[in-house]
Amino acid sequence: MKKLFSFLFIFGHFCFAFTFVVLGDRTGGAKNEIFKKIIEEIRILKPDFIINVGDLIEGNKKDSLNIVKEWERVLRMLKEVGVKLYFTPGNHDIFSELSEKIYLSLIGKTYYSFSYDNAHFIVLDNSRYNSYFEMPQEMIDWLEKDLQAHKKYRWKFVFFHRPFWRYEYEKKKLKDFPLHQIFKKYKVNYVFSGHDHFYTYLFYDSIHYFQVGPSGSRYKIYFDEKEGAFQNYLFCKVEKNEVTIVVIKPGSIFQKEKFSLEKIISQKRFKEGIKLVPLKISEQREEDTIKLFITNPLDEKVKVSFLWEFSSENYLIDIEKGNFVLEGKSKGIFQFLVKIKKPSQIYPLPRLHLFIDYQETKDSLVLVLPIKREITLKNGEFFTFEELGREDGTSVNLKGKIIISCDKENLYLNYSEEDHFLFDTLFFYFAKNQDTILEIKIPKEGKISWSYGRGIDTKIEKFKQRERERREEIKVPLKEILTNNHTYFNIKLHKEKEVLYLKIPFDFDTKEWYQLNFDR
């Protein structure tokens, strides 16, 4: 709070100036204690008015009484500040015809404008639209007319809930985005959005774009403060020839540029450019040289330290720790010799800890060593799985068995429930290739479903599905899953609140699954 009083003294009101606060999302997942703390700080700051960027109530209710009660509760808290309030509708505020009627009754218009001193403010409504192209043309026409009518104002501010501008920038299409072109044409200075619960800032074509972080809501995309995931609101001072905006985390103050969108995207792309190649093992192969690929998309060099964490009872890794430097716009390949002592017992999987030192910030990343295993099935023989893994590479003993076997025509799947091997849902996956995947879904009770589709990231795009009666043994015709006498194989098991996998990380890059070879 001392920082806040010092800030108030330095930042205080001057002649020909006014101040306002921009509030972020309070919902979904409202944390009232945080919201109340923010409200108390704003009361001390004494802005001329408050404007929020949407999502003040949880919403998603069907009865008007509960929706009205939510609004009454949050309005009581806001009115404690004792200043004028302006509202932007969010998807939690307006989510149905009923909620829109209540919003119009309690709050007012969903899009509107007002002027204050030498500034003009515009609020748009994109609460129910997933893209600019779904927004009513009537609203866009109104926006242009309103901007045309208020050209004389020195400062122009625009507010809407969903950050369409950020989505377009991340696709490298902001320059041609119709809303951006309108803002540029009419010399809009500042644009504010919310919705995604992390703070970020972009200066593009002389327009300052802000995505306000959560003001009491949960985090949902990023969870690290370095990526803008912290509770915050904006304090803005408007003078004759200058606008100053700072980001306030309860108890702390940051410059608006500290969590720039370019930096967040660049660091995200740096992490996305890191790939650890799977360790390949089989009955005859117990060691392999694996590669770590790193691409540095940044202009500046990045320092990286690494440390392997593994069980020495089952693994040997030739270089356990070290560091290296990647120059800007460069690529690096680093090799490790890994030996597994017991190929039948792969868990817990080795984990590679990376400590990344950018020029201004530090970050870290943990990679679980993926393992690609080849299994050869002979006619009449069987193979047993007694443990699966979590996403973090730790293992879970199934206290039962998953058994696969084959003859010349079919693959057979069995699961024994010895010693309480229980599951909610068990999935088997077989892939001829990326575009031909068979998913067999076995629920705890009821019929078994067979689905055919193609893999996309972490899901299957299904194009054919049928149900079969539950039997003790599941028979899969080999002709449906084989290519050149092999198939790619994976397992996923839901058990209470856990999800377990055969191949980690779990995705639908099917060539990285276990490979089943058939010696018929």
CB atoms under 10 Å from CB of 413, counted, come to 19
Q: How confident is the model at residue 60 (pLDDT cuts 50, 70, 90)?
A: confident
What integer pLDDT is reported at residue 57 of this predicted model? 96
What confidence tens digit (pLDDT) does each residue in 309-352 have? 999 999 999 999 999 999 999 999 999 999 999 888 899 999 99
What integer pLDDT is reported at residue 344 of this predicted model? 81
Q: For the purposes of burial, counting CB atoms within 10 Å of the CB of 503, is it exposed (0-12), middle (13-18) or buried (19 or more)?
A: buried
Residues 2-259, CATH architecture: 4-Layer Sandwich (3.60)
What integer pLDDT is reported at residue 419 of this predicted model? 47
- Rounded to two decimals, the pTM is 0.74
Q: How confident is the model at residue 10 (pLDDT cuts 50, 70, 90)?
A: low
Residue 15 has pLDDT above 60, yes or no: no
Average pLDDT over residues 370-380: 92
- Percent of the chain scoring above 90 in pLDDT: 72
Average pLDDT over residues 197-206: 97
Q: Average pLDDT, whole number, for the chain?
A: 91
CATH class of segment(s) 273-369: mainly beta
What angle is formed at CA 274 by the lines to CA 165 and CA 229, rounded to 5 degrees? Answer: 45
Residue 7 has pLDDT above 70, yes or no: no
What confidence tens digit (pLDDT) does each residue in 79-112 have? 999 999 999 999 999 999 999 999 999 999 999 9
What confidence tens digit (pLDDT) does each residue in 410-437 have? 999 988 765 445 788 999 999 988 788 9
What integer pLDDT is reported at residue 221 of this predicted model? 81
Handedness of CA 317, 323, 324, 328 (dihedral sign): positive
- Cα dihedral 148/150/153/155 (nearest 10): -70
In the chain, where does the domain assigned CATH 2.60.40.10 lie? 273-369
Residue 147 has pLDDT above 60, yes or no: yes
Q: Is 8 helix (H, G, I), strand (E, B) or coil?
A: helix
Among residues 280, 291, 279, 277, the alpha carbon closest in space to that of 333 is found at 291
What confidence tens digit (pLDDT) does each residue in 462-496 have? 777 777 776 668 999 999 999 899 999 999 999 88
Average pLDDT over residues 254-279: 91
Show the beta-strand stretches assigned E in 132-278: 155-159, 190-193, 200-204, 207-211, 233-238, 243-249, 252-255, 274-276
